A = this chain, B = another copy of it.
Amino acid sequence: MECQVITGARIAEKFLDELTRQIKDVDAQVKLVSFLANNDPSAEQYAEVTKKSCARSGIVFELRKIGREELEDAVIAANDDDTIHGILVYYPVFGGGHDQYIQNCVNPFKDVEGLCHLYRFNMYRNIRHIQGRKDLKSIIPCTPLAVIKVLEHCNVYDNDVPYGNQLRGKTITIINRSEVVGRPLAALLANDGAKVYSVDINDILLFYRGPDLELNKYKVQDTDKKLEEVLPISDIVITGVPSSNYRVPLDLLKDGVIAVNFACAKNFDDEIKTKASIFVPTIGKVTTTMLQRNLLRLYKYRTYGRYSNGTM
């Protein structure tokens, strides 16, 4: 069996086409404003990439550079500005808890990143809709959402069974437990029925929903397992180690594994192609596309009559 190498760009393609079509149908400018308050050149580069991707789908993207002590007021002013439909902030700004304070200052109806408490809570608690309304799907943070779309593209989800069981029977290892990607992703995949080994430098945790369908959200269990034990039993291995020196030990992988890397660094050597059935080396373009998808979704929610005041 040959390994399929699928780029993020290719996976993003169909979403971008769909977005472009939908944005054309909207009879107003859809506008995303991003705040750069940390002088980080890599954030500026990322803004450039986002701008290009937005230009393609027809979204107006504006970068605003400001001092960090002005950020809170600027975000709140953007909440109140009806010409702005999505707000994005490049973190870290202060580092630590004050960044999350800023995240929670963003109006949930403009929170394209899905980082405010409402969406985090829904994600961890396996609550799939806002206020129980079937027409208002909750927003999922862009990078974890991008990984899910990658896995959907790889036909890992069983669409014939109900939500919550579509990954039943799958064993997944995620090497990264950051609070922005690794932990939310482990929770999301476990909420979908997978058995997820979440690996960080200290230990390996098991995220699972188990066989009990009454159990409405994932649980976490300590394990004393080592990477050498979980990799050989994993159908899917997802990596996000931000170091240019780290490589997944390929000899431990199952033949036919699906390998996905969301780190900027290369976590798999090229020989992964001799082991994997599918290899996705980067997902950055899926992430920027998910940002726009969240934006369009929130734009539509706000224009629903009763929600037009932008409060939830």
Please report A residues at the B interface, Cβ cutoff 8 Å: 67, 69, 72, 94, 96-101, 104-105, 117, 120-121, 124, 179-180, 183, 205, 220-222
Contact = CB atoms under 8 A, between A and B. Distances in A.
A120 B99 contact: no
> How many subunits of this chain does the assembly comprise?
2
Contacts of A99: 97
Contacts of A183: 98
Main SS of the interface on chain A? Answer: helix
A296 to B, nearest CB: 26
Given A104-B121, A117-B104, A117-B117, A220 B97 contact: no
Given A97-B179, A101-B120, A101-B124, 10 more contacts: A69-B205, A69-B220, A69-B221, A69-B222, A94-B179, A96-B179, A97-B180, A98-B179, A101-B179, A105-B121
Given A205-B69, A220-B69, A117 B97 contact: no
A222 B68 CA distance: 10
Q: Which of A100, A104, A124 has the most CB of B within 10 A?
A: A100
Nearest to A105: B121
A222 B101 contact: no
A160 B104 CA distance: 36
A271 to B, nearest CB: 35
Contacts of A105: 121
A223 to B, nearest CB: 11
Contacts of A97: 97, 99-100, 179-180
Contacts of A104: 104, 117, 120-121
Nearest to A103: B97
Nearest to A178: B96
Contacts of A117: 101, 104, 117
Nearest to A118: B104
Contacts of A179: 94, 96-98, 101
Contacts of A100: 97, 100-101
A282 B122 CA distance: 41
Nearest to A183: B98
Contacts of A69: 205, 220-222
A140 B261 CA distance: 43
Contacts of A220: 69
B222 A67 contact: yes
A124 B96 CA distance: 17
Contacts of A222: 67, 69
A98 B96 CA distance: 10
A165 to B, nearest CB: 22
A182 to B, nearest CB: 11
A122 B251 CA distance: 55
A102 B67 CA distance: 29
